[in-house]
Structure 1
């Protein structure tokens, strides 16, 4: 069955806001970009004001080593799996899309917050819609930096869920940021792993633990107000595009689907009954996928 998506792409370059339409799934191709139509700011806002069945917005911010096309496909996968009926946005900061160019991507992520802030300012003009944000890897740095700026400006973004997959952010910096943005994002979920090779390399390179990285045999980093889920059992790519519904790599996508489609926030084991829980530091609870 064909399920078209309206995917709105806010590129890193200022004011270049793109509408993408993806075709139905095809064997061996999954999702395809059919067309790209540049939109001005006013056109972008008016398009988001159009009513949809769920009257909500999903914003995906990709991570390190991710091309424009792959970011769009990941967002389409999430929307498809969740049967998401709202508007789907992708903020594409300029990743070099090269395994060896982490340093380039890190600088690009660090310098993209003002452009994402502009997108948030435009979203403020679209009142009455719930906003769901999903960030991956280095994209979490972009989102957290931007939301801190927005919080300082007392912005009202009506964020229903902030989902942070494998946050490639210093673990101390992450804690400070999540405290600062609680007024904007009441419901926060973090997926952490010891199997994520990119976080492993990033932690070694920075000589500091990343928030989403778990040392083998240890507990994940835990933060007040953030539901933390250990997804080590899922594998080394928690947002892998994979149409094999029995694959472990789809577990996180399925949980994200629950988060962006539920009317009210639920705890992880209320969404996914197979999740187990433990009590970590400072009596904080966290969840994990059993092996």
Structure 2
């Protein structure tokens, strides 16, 4: 073994141990998670719980285990379901209260009250039954190491805590929910690309949908960007109703991302990217990917990376490195850090780009363009490609 390959193996092992330890720590602090938490539970009127009614589209295989619904294996076709999650009162913003045992207690735990399989023909009526004249849809694509129940509860938590008025649609791809299954999960995103493209195009074509926002986390960002690129290549452009794409801690090779954005063409949605230089999960991903920089951990103080981002018209990057709180890995601040949750919610409700409200969410903000090399002291640093270009 060469010295360089030995160093890479050591770094990978060290990062894998760190991520596994952090994941175990988060699991222990949130209590052990039993299997089968998606068994429907009746919630009485005496429980002051809120509900999130979501549409689920998934390429996972159905599970025969009660309360699991969909496994981490790959399914034969795209499946749909209507799932309603009950959110307990008196919980911290950004947190998920997992049941200690099955069935959960709706007074203190996240539980589901309804799990109904849907055919493709039933999806359109699901949109029709929703209240409101202007229907804005939020399609969420989860990340690596995410079992189906975790995807459902995380999205329900995010929708509830942001208080957004968007219609929640979860796209769940086959993840085995294990840190050691990185390559399997990565291939599962490729397996699911055409199905996500179908879901996005179908939502955009629906007369009952006025706007589509895409929120993708971690490895799910690769899947989301690939699906959008596929739509652009096959149809000549991305559907105009898809107005905004939010990439949270994207596990994306920066070289590949540049090419993906170029191939989407000029008529593409605005993009907002959340990055953090101390994202431990993406440090592991970078090691596994041949030491190529991940977009979600890009260093905006490095002029070389900033110059590359300047080429992406309509791309805004929010650096959350200095923002305190959230998860132990600094990988899910978009959903777990209370200031970010409120910021995203306020902007989604208003139908505005996320960066427009950054200064009101977490104190001071640096908007950087030509002065990318300056020392970063603000909780959120904002990089706008159009601002950078205008300073030259």
TM-score by structure 2 length?
0.65
Relative to structure 2, which stretch is displaced further, 27-36 or 167-176? Answer: 27-36
* SS across alignment from 2:83: strand
* SS across alignment from 2:154: helix
2:346 matches 1:258: yes
Distance 1:112 1:271 in 2: 37
Residues 237/15 of structure 1: CA separation in 2 closer, same or farther (3 Å cut): closer
Which residue, out of 135, 144, 166, partners 1:55? 135
Distance 2:378 2:174 in 1: 33
Per-residue deviation, 1:253: 2.2
* SS across alignment from 2:138: strand
For residues 7-29 of structure 1, the C-alpha deviation after alignment (integer angstroms, 9 at most, x for no partner) is: 11101142310110111315644
- Larger fraction in helix: 2
* SS across alignment from 2:339: helix
User: 2:320 corresponds to which residue?
Assistant: 231
Distance 2:130 2:180 in 1: 43
Distance 1:284 1:158 in 2: 37
Relative to structure 2, which stretch is displaced further, 71-80 or 25-34? Answer: 25-34
User: 2:212 corresponds to which residue?
Assistant: 131
User: 1:7 corresponds to which residue?
Assistant: 54
User: 1:72 corresponds to which residue?
Assistant: 152
Per-residue deviation, 1:79: 1.2
Number of residue equivalences: 285
For residues 242-277 of structure 1, the C-alpha deviation after alignment (integer angstroms, 9 at most, x for no partner) is: 5xxxxxx22332222133211333625355362411
User: 1:149 corresponds to which residue?
Assistant: 230
**Contact 2:57 / 2:80 at 8 angstroms: preserved in 1?**
yes
Residues 77/185 of structure 1: CA separation in 2 closer, same or farther (3 Å cut): farther
User: 2:124 corresponds to which residue?
Assistant: 45
* SS across alignment from 1:52: coil
**Contact 1:136 / 1:165 at 8 angstroms: preserved in 2?**
yes
2:194 matches 1:114: yes
After TM superposition, the structure 1 = structure 2 runs for residues 1-291 of structure 1, keeping only pairs within 5 Å, are 1-12=48-59, 13=75, 14-25=77-88, 28-29=97-98, 30-53=109-132, 55-127=135-207, 128-152=209-233, 153-154=235-236, 155-181=238-264, 185-206=268-289, 207-215=291-299, 218=302, 222-223=309-310, 224=312, 225-234=314-323, 236-239=330-333, 249-265=337-353, 267-269=356-358, 272=361, 274-280=363-369, 289=379
Residues 65/184 of structure 1: CA separation in 2 closer, same or farther (3 Å cut): farther
Residues 287/182 of structure 1: CA separation in 2 closer, same or farther (3 Å cut): farther
For residues 100-153 of structure 1, the C-alpha deviation after alignment (integer angstroms, 9 at most, x for no partner) is: 111111111122101111212321331342111110000001000000011121
**Contact 1:148 / 1:177 at 8 angstroms: preserved in 2?**
yes
Q: RMSD of the TM alignment (CA)? A: 3.0
**Contact 2:136 / 2:211 at 8 angstroms: preserved in 1?**
yes
Where in structure 2 are there 5+ consecutive unaligned residues? Answer: 1-47, 60-74, 92-96, 99-108, 382-392
For residues 26-60 of structure 1, the C-alpha deviation after alignment (integer angstroms, 9 at most, x for no partner) is: 56445322232111112012212334335211110
TM-score by structure 1 length?
0.86
Relative to structure 2, which stretch is displaced further, 85-94 or 122-131? Answer: 122-131
Residues 158/183 of structure 1: CA separation in 2 closer, same or farther (3 Å cut): farther
**Contact 2:318 / 2:380 at 8 angstroms: preserved in 1?**
no
Residues 130/271 of structure 1: CA separation in 2 closer, same or farther (3 Å cut): farther
